[in-house]
């Protein structure tokens, strides 16, 4: 990082140290505190909750202003938390000597003490993950309850009701199933890294660098999985992706192309 700082401010100055912290904050946002994605998943499950458990009020609850608020919270809160933690240096309280002895050349991992290694992981991964699992379990329970209630409806009425709601119900089920798979893959990819982040301070930071990098890149790999998952479940996503890759989106008539068939 010193080479980058040298182009901007003289190394060794207070401004240089602030630049180092700023770059370090960016690293933190993209790894251990990549909670914008996690918070966004929580809001996605809130959306699914109203769609499945309270469909009559969905259009009044999940409005455009609410979605904008979700997006602002998803990015602003993690941003403030990440930069606040790094600039306050709470994450290295008590381990300053060890941090100063590290030669940050080629690779510069963010160091956490025992307290903040646990707190950061709980706040940015385990707590949102628990909320998502709780909401999903509730959605699954309500969906099964609805299925049992529908089974009790007389055949003649059931036929009319089923024809009316078949497409809508199938779409909601597909969306919920897709989101659950996305969440499962997210947990699978990031769980080893967050467990390592908690454990590393308690084993005197003896984790091999190669193992740390492997878990970190497994977490990054999650971003590769998401478009694959959505592509498998939604034809409109595959069509949009093909339009972007082939350059069709730059054609003058691209705005008239249809992504959504009558039912997907």
Q: How many CB atoms lie within 10 A of CB 18?
A: 13
When the pLDDT of each residue in the chain is averaged and rounded to a whole number, the result is: 77
pLDDT in tens, 97-153: 887 787 666 566 778 899 998 998 898 889 888 988 888 888 888 877 876 776 666
The CA distance from 151 to 145, in Å, is 10
For 158-190, b/e burial (b = at least 16 CB within 10 A) is: eeeeeeeeeeebeebeebbebbbbbbebbbebb
Contact 195, 179 (CB under 8 A): no
Domain annotation for the chain: domains and CATH numbers: 31-233 (1.20.1070.10)
- Cβ–Cβ < 8 Å for 241, 247: no
88: number of Cβ within 10 Å? 10
Query: To which residue do tokens 């993690």 refer?
Result: 78
Q: Helix and strand tally (H, E) in the chain?
A: 11, 0
- How far apart, in whole angstroms, are the C-alpha atoms of residue 135 and residue 129? 10
Burial class (CB in 10 A: 0-12, 13-18, 19+), 81: middle
Residue 213 CB neighbours (<10 A): 12
Which pLDDT score is estimated for 264?
A: 46
CA angle 187, 189, 194 (to 5 degrees): 75
106-132 core/surface letters (b: 16 or more CB in 10 A; e: else): eeebbbbbeebbbbbbebbbbebbebb
Q: By percentage, how much of the chain surpasses pLDDT 90? A: 13
What pLDDT, on a 0 to 100 scale, did the predictor assign at position 4? 40
Over residues 190-196, mean pLDDT: 92
Give, in degrees to the nearest 5, the angle at Cα 199 between 195 and 202.
170
pLDDT tens-digit readout, 35-53: 667 788 888 888 888 888 8
End-to-end CA distance of the chain: 48
Contacts of 248 (CB under 8 A, 6+ apart): 242, 254, 257
pLDDT at 135: 86
Give 36's contacts (C-beta < 8 A, 6+ positions apart): 29, 74, 75, 78, 79
pLDDT, average across residues 56-76: 90
Measured distance CA(262)–CA(264) in Å, rounded: 7
Residues of the chain with pLDDT > 70: what percent? 72
Q: Is 149 helix (H, G, I), strand (E, B) or coil?
A: helix
């Amino acid at each position: 990082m010193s080479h980058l700082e040298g182009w901007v401010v003289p190394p060794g100055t207070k401004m240089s140290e602030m630049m180092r912290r700023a770059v370090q904050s960016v690293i933190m946002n993209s790894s251990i505190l990549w909670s914008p994605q996690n918070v966004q998943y929580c809001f996605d499950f809130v959306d699914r909750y109203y769609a499945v458990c309270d469909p009559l009020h969905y259009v009044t609850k999940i409005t455009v202003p609410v979605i904008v608020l979700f997006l602002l919270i998803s990015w602003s809160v993690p941003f403030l938390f990440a930069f606040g933690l790094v600039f306050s240096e709470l994450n290295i309280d008590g381990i300053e000597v060890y941090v100063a002895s590290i030669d940050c050349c080629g690779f510069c991992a963010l160091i956490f003490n025992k307290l903040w290694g646990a707190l950061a992981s709980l706040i940015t991964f385990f707590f949102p993950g628990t909320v998502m699992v709780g909401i999903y379990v509730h959605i699954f329970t309500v969906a099964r309850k609805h299925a049992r209630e529908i089974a009790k409806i007389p055949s003649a009425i059931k036929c009319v009701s089923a024809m009316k709601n078949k497409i809508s119900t199938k779409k909601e089920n597909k969306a919920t199933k897709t989101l659950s798979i996305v969440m499962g893959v997210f947990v699978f990819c990031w769980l080893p890294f967050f467990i390592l982040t908690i454990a590393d301070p308690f084993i005197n930071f003896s984790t091999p660098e190669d193992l740390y990098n492997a878990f970190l890149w497994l977490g990054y790999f999650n971003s590769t999985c998401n478009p694959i998952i959505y592509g498998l479940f939604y034809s409109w996503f595959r069509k949009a992706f093909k339009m972007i890759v082939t350059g069709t989106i730059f054609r003058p008539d691209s705005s008239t192309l249809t992504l959504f068939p009558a039912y997907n």
